């Protein structure tokens, strides 16, 4: 039996036994290489389920859709390791009760999809923790190294050119499961903290705000990068900030559901004399 068929069976069981009220997975999209998010509420709907190497989107943002988990019922969701890290963070930041999430874990290497054994996020902790060891290597990117070689002025010019295309659609924010604020700082207009205009300054402001708010929280799922309609290489910013946080604080986001947020926690005996 293929992995896809195994998981279809599991989804049908989860739904018919009443273990979960819904499973969030993938189905076919408009073209052969596209996948769509799928919300499965009956065992029959599981027929549409698809699981292959094109199922790369991190679906965990849907879990915190208003009201979904408020009835305390369980929801199943297809997650890769980056998605499991995401729900760990969401739990650590008190956005969801991780007990309510049944994880249908899988991983993709090249064209191959493998099943991950486990049912709740905690079951995958060994695997998740092992990601940290490989992180310095995994976060490497030749383009980041190239940019590091530039002097600050040249690097600024590079990003200025990239951000000049930004249209401030905020697709990067909407696509990110970690951007869950009810009212994003850029939408606060009493006072207007951040310019809404999509000019050079405004585009910089937005992209810097985004980079900082995701530092130490981003799991590198790539949702933002893929969503950006003008193809700004947001992955470079995310990976560079993750390197920084790993190097400075020995912190990789999403290792457990009790991990302290690195830039949002405070210790009385902190060696620094100020907080940001």
Partner 1 sequence: MTRILLSDKLDNCVARWRKAGLTVIGPVKKETFSSYAVVEKAAEFDLGLVLPDRSIKGLFFPQTEPMLEYTIKKQAIDTKDFAPPSDKRIIFGARPCDASGLAIDDPLFGWDYKDEYWFQRRNETVIVSIACTRADDFCMCTSLKLAPDSTKGSDVLLRPLQNNKGWLVQELTDRGREAFSQIADLLQEGSEPAAPTVVVAEKFNLDACVAWLQNPANFDSSFWKEISMRCIGCASCTFLCPTCHCFDFQDEGDTYSGIRRKNWDSCSFALFTMHTSGHNPRATQSARWRQRIMHKFNYFPGKFSVNSCSGCGRCSRQCPVDMGITETLQAISTLKP
Q: How many CA atoms lie within 13 A of 27 on its CB side?
A: 12
Task: Give me the least distance between CB of 195 and partner 1, in Å please.
Answer: 6
150, 167, 185, 264: residue in contact with ligand SF4 (rule CB under 6 A): 167
Interaction between residue 15 and ligand SF4 (CB under 6 A)? no
Task: Give me the least distance between CB of 226 and ligand SF4, in Å please.
Answer: 9
Interaction between residue 218 and ligand SF4 (CB under 6 A)? yes
Q: For the residues of 147-185, what is the DSSP string, one character each?
A: HHHS-HHHHHHHHHHHHTT-----HHHHH-TT---SS-G
Report the residue number, 107 or 187, with the smaller CB distance to partner 1: 187
Instruction: Tell me the C-alpha distance between 33 and 56, whole Å.
Output: 11
DSSP state of 260: P
Looking at the DSSP assignment, which residues form a beta bridge with residue 101? 75
Instruction: Tell me the C-alpha distance between 62 and 156, whole Å.
Output: 35
Interaction between residue 220 and ligand SF4 (CB under 6 A)? yes
Interaction between residue 213 and ligand SF4 (CB under 6 A)? no
Q: How many residues bind ligand SF4 (CB under 6 A)?
A: 25
Residue 214 interaction partner, one of ligand SF4, partner 1, none, beta carbon < 5-8 Å per kind: ligand SF4
Report the residue number, 43 or 233, with the smaller CB distance to partner 1: 233
Q: How many CA atoms lie within 13 A of 38 on its CB side?
A: 25
Binding site for ligand SF4 (CB under 6 A): 58, 166-172, 175-176, 178, 214, 218-224, 227-230, 232, 238
């Amino acid at each position: 039996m293929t992995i896809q068929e195994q998981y279809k069976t599991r989804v049908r069981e989860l739904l018919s036994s009443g273990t979960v009220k819904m499973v969030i997975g993938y189905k076919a999209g408009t073209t052969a290489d596209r996948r769509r998010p799928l919300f499965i509420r009956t065992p029959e709907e599981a027929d549409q389920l698809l699981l292959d190497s094109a199922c790369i989107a991190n679906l965990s943002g849907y879990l915190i859709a208003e009201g979904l988990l408020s009835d305390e019922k369980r929801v199943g969701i297809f997650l890769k390791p980056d998605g499991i890290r995401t729900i760990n963070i969401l739990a650590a930041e008190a956005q969801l009760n991780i007990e309510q999430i049944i994880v249908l874990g899988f991983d993709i290497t090249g064209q191959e999809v493998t099943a991950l054994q486990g049912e709740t996020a905690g079951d995958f902790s060994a695997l998740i923790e092992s990601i940290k060891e490989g992180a310095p290597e995994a976060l490497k990117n030749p383009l980041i190294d190239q940019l590091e070689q530039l002097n600050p002025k040249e690097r600024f010019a590079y990003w200025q050119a990239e951000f000049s295309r930004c249209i401030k659609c905020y697709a990067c924010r909407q696509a990110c499961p970690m951007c869950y604020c009810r009212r994003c700082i850029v939408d606060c207009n009493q006072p207007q903290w951040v310019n809404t205009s999509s000019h050079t300054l405004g585009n910089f402001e937005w992209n810097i705000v985004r980079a900082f708010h995701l530092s130490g929280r981003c799991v590198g799922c790539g949702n933002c990068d893929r969503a950006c309609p003008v193809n700004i290489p947001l992955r470079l910013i995310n990976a560079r900030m993750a390197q920084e946080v790993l190097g400075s604080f020995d912190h990789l986001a999403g290792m457990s559901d009790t991990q302290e947020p690195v830039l949002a926690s405070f210790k009385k005996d902190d060696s620094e004399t100020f907080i940001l």
